[in-house]
Amino acid sequence: MDLSSLQLLLLPGKVFEKNHLIPEYEALYRFWKRFWTHVYSEANSEAHFNLDDFLRQDIICVVLYRGNVAGCLCHSYFGVNRESSRDHSYFRFFSPYFLKTLNQHNISVVQTFEFLSIDPLWRQRNTHLALAEILIGCGLKVLQHSFADAAIAIARRDVNVHGKAHKMGYWSVEEEIVKRNFSCDTIVCLRTGVKPHPDAQTLQITEQIWEQRLNATAFSALDPIESDTSYNKINQWRRAK
């Protein structure tokens, strides 16, 4: 496995007709749909899987290997003090106690961490690479470049998402609550509380693909430092695949 062939692509949550990213976006959607259809089916919870959630996202972190999707992580932004946000269906996952905790930490804008998806071929037992934790680390890089005060997530315990996230600064507000037939923790990470991953290899790869990221979103703060011409870089990358 040639780790230099890993590429981080930051996609917008929506792309419109005539956008040159439509092929990558649609390929990612098919990957996401296939992955989560299987996960929800295994949990006998198919009725809870809402395909509309894909188009709700603001930013999607995608790790590609030689042009193929290896994994992704989705992010939306909410102003938690606004009625329009609190009434959103996403916040049905969270208790009044959780929202009170956000308020106690003066958190007004959150970045969600959702739909962490790893291609089965890229699971750690197959590759000895912690790709899920690399993606979480990249998502926290996005947080640090954003206007959000904190990251929040519903972390599945069956695949130890809560444990993976704890390594990088998250903490559990509520533990072992059942959501959609999954045992979960509700977790938070302050933007000022992000920690480097304790494993040297995982941290190195996270830093490497972040530095070489391709930003196709409208958030210019996510552009690589050495260039603000992300679209040109994406075209160069596509030709080189």
Q: Which of 185, 209, 186 lies closest to 197, judged by CA?
A: 209
Architecture category of domain 3-240 in CATH: 3-Layer(aba) Sandwich (3.40)
β-strand pairing of 6-12 with 214-215: parallel
Distances (CA, A) of 66 to 5, 44, 224, 231, 239: 6, 34, 20, 18, 12
Say how far apart CA 237 and CA 221 lie, in whole Å.
21
Question: Phi first, then psi: what are they for 196, rounded to 5°?
Answer: -65, 145
CA 32 to chain centre: 12
Average pLDDT (92-117) is 97
β-strand pairing of 182-190 with 171-179: antiparallel
Domain regions of the chain by residue span: 3-240
Whether 218 has a pLDDT exceeding 90, the answer reads no
Question: In the structure, what pLDDT confidence band is assigned to residue 227 with cuts at 50, 70 and 90?
Answer: very low
Question: In the structure, what pLDDT confidence band is assigned to residue 229 with cuts at 50, 70 and 90?
Answer: very low
CA 213 to chain centre: 15
Q: Which of 196, 61, 195 lies closest to 138, judged by CA?
A: 61
How confident is the model at residue 157, as a pLDDT? 96
Q: Give yes or no for a contact between 60 and 66, defined as CB atoms under 8 angstroms apart.
A: no
Q: Give yes or no for a contact between 113 and 139, defined as CB atoms under 8 angstroms apart.
A: yes
Question: Phi first, then psi: what are they for 121, rounded to 5°?
Answer: -65, -20
How confident is the model at residue 75, as a pLDDT? 98
How confident is the model at residue 124, as a pLDDT? 85
pLDDT tens string 28-81: 999 999 999 999 999 999 999 999 999 999 999 999 999 899 999 999 999 999
pLDDT tens string 109-156: 999 999 999 999 998 888 889 999 999 999 999 999 999 999 999 999
pLDDT tens string 173-216: 999 999 999 999 999 999 999 999 999 999 999 999 999 999 99
This prediction's pTM: 0.92
Structure-model confidence comparison of residues 195 and 223, the more confident one? 195
How confident is the model at residue 128, as a pLDDT? 87
